[in-house]
Amino acid sequence: MSFPDVRGNPCSSNHRAALDAVEQALWRMMSFYDTPLADLDVAIAADPGWLLPQVMKAGFLLSLTEPSQVAEAETALDAARALAHHANARERAHLQAVQLVLEGRWQAACRVWDEVLIEHPQDALALQWAQLWDFYRGDAVNLRARPARALPAWDEGDPLYAHALALYAFGLEECNLYPQAEEAGRRALAIEPRAPWAVHAVAHVMEMQGRYEDGAAWLRQHQAQWAEGNGFAVHLWWHKSLFRLEAMDILGVLRLIDSHLSGDALQVTLQRIDAASLLWRLHLLGEDVTGHATALLAGWPLNDDSAGHYAFNDTHAVLAMLAAGDVARAEAWVARCAERALGAEDARRSNHLMAREVGLPLMRGLLAYARGDADGAVDLIYPVRASAQRFGGSHAQRDLIDQTLLGAAALGGRRSLGRALLNERCMAKPVTPLTRLWMEKLALPEQVRA
């Protein structure tokens, strides 16, 4: 028998305490205010026969992209499967999708969530999870299209509406629809000021438009809402650091790293990759970040079993190793990633394709750069630049590829490529102090700089 949740989605529980706890957990997942695990445990205790809280627990753990969390997620899925005969079709679809995520079949999982949303467009869980794994797969089209198909069915008075609208704002930004993205993000925040994903979407717009002063002011304006008690704070501090880097405020970037992107502030890989990305960008500019990178690696549980789990994370681990000057460790890491990600037993995993087409060539190019072979780095990295979206992340995150190519062009004999990349950059957004620095490193004539 099915009972409706607050959005009218069918649930196989009518225990009010369990339903309330699941709704609270869902809010936490969409707003990033604390983790949902305690709420889900409350729901499980209130209704031990309900499948959905166990599925949500497994899905949340897997969403962290932490190899160390996979075993606990699998345990929760085992418990959920034992309850499947009590569940309705929507809940069983969620179980199927999270099982596919566990198996590494992320695209197939998103297809299942898409089917759920066609029947139940107000299923916030399907919307949230599809967006996350669309993001991990670099599927910009569905980052925009999936919320667009669902949002007209929502009531703007719904407590989660602003968070759903923020998903749409980010999808618009990743599809280069910047004015629409900024409008949607601002509207979401007007409805609910505590919507960090909306702050994030507008920050991305400003990053892509070269509005580094606007971006810093934007984050400062909303800092009271996102900086304390929010799991997304580290990423927004990363965005603030990018704005300072664009202004060539290197000391300001280092202060932010020391206060918000190092030590105990970094609890999961998704936070550590932000720190690694930032340190690598500084390294490319000639800053000595060896100590910072060494400290980052000391708190990052990297081992042979975790290598090859997700190419995007694997690449950032390499960035940290190379910024720390540990080329031998980076070489061993890349070899293990290749062994696992290209193995026949992993052929159905989304990471198999990501690693083969983008991750491994990129990591090998980074190794070449670290060995001083700048032209070899270009030969490996530039061919994958056009398809780099396939291994996930955002435009802003993947910009480190262009930054690395600019660094290699400045050190080697590929000045023409550096000029071409800067031409593209200057056509897309105003010239910033960071762009001017690259022009100087590439010794471009004044008429090219205009």
Question: 101 falls in which pLDDT band (50, 70, 90)?
Answer: very high
Question: 142 falls in which pLDDT band (50, 70, 90)?
Answer: very high
Location of structure tokens 């309705």:
88
344 pLDDT above the threshold of 80: no
Q: Which of 242, 260, 278 is the last residue of a domain?
A: 260
- Which pLDDT score, from 0 to 100, does residue 3 have? 80
Residues 340 and 359 in one domain: yes
Q: How far apart are CA 225 and CA 434, in angstroms?
A: 29
Domains of the chain: total: 2
- Which pLDDT score, from 0 to 100, does residue 332 have? 96
Residues 333 and 381 in one domain: yes
Residues 136 and 36 in one domain: yes
Other C-beta atoms within 10 Å of 98: how many? 28
Other C-beta atoms within 10 Å of 152: how many? 7
Residues 240 and 279 in one domain: no
Q: How far apart are CA 380 and CA 408, in angstroms?
A: 11
Q: How far apart are CA 71 and CA 60, in angstroms?
A: 13
User: CA angle, corner 136, sides to 96 and 386, nearest 5?
Assistant: 135
Alpha carbons within 13 A on the beta-carbon side of 436: 11
Residues 297 and 150 in one domain: no
Range of the domain at 133: 3-140+261-449
What average pLDDT is seen over the chain?
95
| From 278-282, 300-304, 325-329, 330-334, the region with the lowest mean pLDDT | 300-304
pTM of the model: 0.95
Residues 358 and 273 in one domain: yes
**307 close to 426: Cβ distance less than 8 angstroms:** no
Residues 173 and 246 in one domain: yes
Residues 278 and 319 in one domain: yes
Distances (CA, A) of 228 to 236, 263, 310: 11, 16, 29
Average pLDDT of span 182-207: 98
Q: How far apart are CA 127 and CA 113, in angstroms?
A: 7
Residues 184 and 241 in one domain: yes
Q: How far apart are CA 29 and CA 435, in angstroms?
A: 37
Q: Which of 222, 240, 260 is the last residue of a domain?
A: 260
Q: How far apart are CA 113 and CA 292, in angstroms?
A: 40
Give per-residue pLDDT as tens, 17-68.
Answer: 999 999 999 999 999 999 999 999 999 999 999 999 999 999 999 999 999 9
Give per-residue pLDDT as tens, 167-176.
Answer: 999 999 999 9
- Which pLDDT score, from 0 to 100, does residue 2 have? 66
Interacting residues of 173 by C-beta distance below 8 A, sequence separation 6+: 181, 185, 201, 204, 205, 208
Question: 387 falls in which pLDDT band (50, 70, 90)?
Answer: very high
Other C-beta atoms within 10 Å of 166: how many? 29
Residues 277 and 399 in one domain: yes
Residues 149 and 39 in one domain: no
Question: 447 falls in which pLDDT band (50, 70, 90)?
Answer: very low
Of 344, 359, 424, 438, the closest CA to residue 391 belongs to 359
User: CA angle, corner 107, sides to 63 and 205, nearest 5?
Assistant: 65
Q: Which of 260, 280, 311 is the last residue of a domain?
A: 260
Residues 8 and 73 in one domain: yes
Q: Taking the alpha carbons of 344, 397, 302, 60 in that order, is the dihedral positive or negative?
A: negative
Q: How far apart are CA 443 and CA 85, in angstroms?
A: 68
> What number of helices (H) and strands (E) belong to the chain?
26, 2
